[in-house]
Amino acid sequence: MKVLGICFSHRKNGNSEILLREALKGSRECGAKTEFMSLRNKKIQPCIGCFKCKDKGVCSQKDDMQAIYPKLLEADGIIFATPVYFYSLSGMGKAFIDRTFALKSPELRLMNKVGAAITVGSSSGNISTLHTFNMFFLTNHMVTTDYVAGYASNKGTIKKHRHAMLGAYELGRLVSLIMSNGFEYPAEFNMALYLLVKEKYGIHMSPFENVGGFETSR
């Protein structure tokens, strides 16, 4: 049971990476082997729409995606994390998503893998960004879980958004537990993740609803 976490942020140790590492920690604590991957130093060209991959499922472009494809195929669960740029994914994140088109031929090769998503926006754009991930999971016939929407701007300030930190940890747990539970949601996750964090830890999704504003990290 392996969970692959892919970070779409250009920042080293940035907010998206912090949440993703929390998620992978949760996955490990539930028995999964995990791998963290950053696209920060990867060379990933945009899809050029040549459709050469439709015959054998092999992308014609020779860049760092060629080494990433096997990791996607080997993983049982995939967690994406991205900052919000203009109400959507980061540029390299979108290029990455587009290039996974090669994995849809000759059949859906990501089918039945477990998927989850994390986004971080300064004020808005999380939901529109999550839409892209949801369509990715749906069109690849993956098993979707839940999401975490964090709010932060300056590097590292996501640690003050305790709901997002705890949510990421629980999201990672959920990904592993679904895989080990025969692709069924465990009984403890019988509510939306944002509500579960509120019930379990007493932390509201909005920091303004918590006494004293932003909470410190767990």
Q: Are 99 and 59 in contact (CB under 8 A)?
A: yes
Phi/psi at 114 (nearest 5 deg)?
-90, 130
Cα–Cα nearest to 167, from 146, 141, 137:
146
pTM of the model: 0.92
Interacting residues of 205 by C-beta distance below 8 A, sequence separation 6+: 163, 194, 197, 198
User: Are 148 and 205 in contact, with CB atoms under 8 Å apart?
Assistant: no
Question: Rounded CA gap, 142 and 144, in Å?
Answer: 6
pLDDT for 38-51, tens place per residue? 999 999 999 999 99
Assigned token pair, 64 = 């760092």
At 4, the pLDDT band (50, 70, 90 cuts) reads very high
Per-residue pLDDT of 48-68, as tens digits, reads 999 999 988 899 999 999 999
By CB atoms closer than 10 A (0-12, 13-18, 19+), residue 218 is exposed
For residue range 66-123, list pLDDT tens digits in order.
999 999 999 999 999 999 999 899 999 999 999 999 999 999 999 999 999 999 998 8
pLDDT digits (tens, 9 = 90+) for 193-203: 999 999 999 98
pLDDT at residue 209, rounded to an integer: 65
Tell me the domain boundaries of the chain: 2-42+55-209
Instruction: Calculate the CA dihedral of residues 63, 155, 134, 206 and round it to 10 degrees.
Output: 180
The mean pLDDT value of the chain amounts to 92
- pLDDT for residue 216: 40
Q: What is the pLDDT of residue 58?
A: 93
Give the class (CATH, top level) of 2-42+55-209: alpha beta
φ and ψ of 30, to 5 deg:
-105, 20
Does the pLDDT value for residue 215 go beyond 50? no
| C-alpha to C-alpha distances, 139 to 99, 127, 133, 171, nearest whole angstrom | 14, 18, 10, 21
